[in-house]
Structure 1
Amino acid sequence: MNHADIDAIIEVHRLAFGKEEGEDIAQLARDFLGLPDTISISSERDRKIVGNVLFTPFNFVDHPDANCYLLAPCGVLPAYQGHGVGKEIMEASIEHLSSVRTDAVFVLGVPTFYPRYGFAPTDKQTPYPDLMSAPEAWMALELTEGSVKKLSGKTVAIPQFMRPHWWNTSQHG
């Protein structure tokens, strides 16, 4: 990935998340893009990146062989929202993650968006289960049949995502 693509992806997230969260999410995207295990899926219109979703490793301490990812952030430039870009990047992502033998993908996100792509609320722990005030926002997509059922116990995200405020659902609308 070249510097222009990285800058474009960071800008997608900055603008998609607006004034309140944009800078924090853009920094998170910048951090994630610098990690070797991050999976980045983008959508382009007129040779310009207009949507992006990032996936980082998500581990269950008692199940080290499970190949799971955390989906975040997922952003689309405001001018392109509502035009199928989110659907395009979600479908491409699921296809790619399936091809690399991912067991499951987890997301703390909008409960009305992600179920369209097979995500369902899950009882698996977040890294900070005591901060979960909106359980319907914590969802999983099982890509290897039967894999989610086997998972249990403590979870760990990458260091940049282990800050409690990312997991406090009472702070998000």
Structure 2
Amino acid sequence: MKHPDIGAILDVHRLAFGEAEGAEIAQLAKGLLNHPDTISVSAERDGKIAGNVLFTPFTFKDHPATKCHLLAPCGVLPEYQGRGVGKEIMETSIAQLKSTGTDAVFVLGVPTFYPRYGFAPTDKQTPYPDLLTVAEAWMALELTPGSVENLNGQTIAIPQFMHPHWWDTSGHG
């Protein structure tokens, strides 16, 4: 990835998540972009990156052969929100993940946004299942039919996501 693109992607996440969370999410995105297995999908408008979504490996300890990804973060510059950028990055990234053999994608996110793209609440564990207080926020998208049904047990995200605060939904409604 070109160095100028990284700065633009970090700006997208910093501005999309606002003053309260933007700096922390941009710092997370920076760490994720340094991980060799991160998949980054962006959309451009007016010659600049207007939206970005990142995907990182997500493993079920007892099912290592099932190829899963964790979606986070997903952001759109405020001036482009509501203008199809989020839809474009979601549809493009889902097609890309399908083409590379990903079996399933998981997200801890806004329960009113992700179902538009086929995500549905799941009973599969997060790395910190006791911190999941908003169950409908934990969702899965099955890309290979039948791949999610038999998944169970402990899950492992990349190191940047193995901090409990990323999985605590008690402060969100």
Task: Report the TM-score when normalising by structure 1.
Answer: 0.99
Flag structure 1 segments of 5+ consecutive residues without an equivalent.
Answer: none
List runs of 5+ in structure 2 lacking aligned partners: none
Cα separation, 1, equivalents of 2:15 and 2:142: 30
Q: Which has the higher helix share?
A: 1
Moved over 3 A (4+): none
Q: Which residue of 1 aligns with 2:88?
A: 88
Separation of aligned partners in 2, 1:83 and 1:18: 18
Please give the residue correspondences for 1:82-161 in structure 2 after superposition, counting only pairs within 5 Å: 82-161=82-161
Looking at structure 1, the residues matched to 2 and 171 of structure 2 have their Cα atoms a distance apart, in angstroms, of 34
Spell out, residue by residue over 1:47-104, the C-alpha distance to the aligned partner (whole angstroms, 9 max, x if none): 2000000000000000011100000000000000000000000000000000000000
Identical pairs, percent: 74
Distance 1:170 1:37 in 2: 30
State the AA in 1 paired with 2:48.
K
Secondary structure in structure 2 of the residue aligned to 1:36: coil
Partner in structure 2 of residue 33 of structure 1: 33
1:65 and 2:103 matched: no
Number of aligned positions between the proteins = 173
User: What is the TM-score of this pair, normalised by structure 2?
Assistant: 0.99
